[in-house]
Amino acid sequence: MRIMEFLCPEAIVIDLKATDKKAAIKELVDSLAKTNKIKDSNEITKTILEREKLGSTGIGQGVALPHGKTDAVKEQIGVIGISSNGVEFNSLDGELVYLIFLLVGPLDAAGQHLKALARITRLFKDKFFRQALRDAKTVKDVVGIIEKEDEY
């Protein structure tokens, strides 16, 4: 599975304004909504925030992977947000988050959802990949970095 199969490039946020988890999730969902690829941004935001109540998806090393499944989407879709100042995400390591990959999928696609999360996690473990994304200045840069890594 390749990230570009479900990443929505036109929704990528290079300069995330949010400083806390809830605002960051809302900002990314709102960015997806502007592309008309999702039906109900309020439902998606609620679904992801409900998932966060089970435990933070701030996995450490400046990365968060908020996610959820809902019937408000027909297919798996994701968006990346990059923050230069950091977002308080209640991360497992207690550090701020600079890279957020939000993923939402349909209720009936649990297997695909887990495969996508595993792929994202694998890529974000690479410190050079994380740094390249943090250094990206444009959406085109972000897409290029991901496409290059997606080959492996």
Question: With the C-alpha atoms ordered 55, 61, 62, 64, is the resulting torsion angle positive or negative?
Answer: negative
Alpha-carbon distances of 69 from 36, 60, 81, 104, 109, rounded to whole Å: 18, 22, 19, 6, 8
Q: How is the chain split among helix, strand and coil, in percent rounded to 5? A: 45, 20, 35
Neighbour tally for 144: CB within 10 Å = 13
Q: Is 44 helix (H, G, I), strand (E, B) or coil?
A: helix
Residue tagged active-site, from 21, 51, 67, 113? 67
The three-point CA angle 54-91-81 to 5° equals: 100
Q: Is 113 annotated as catalytic? A: no
The residues annotated as belonging to the active site are: 67
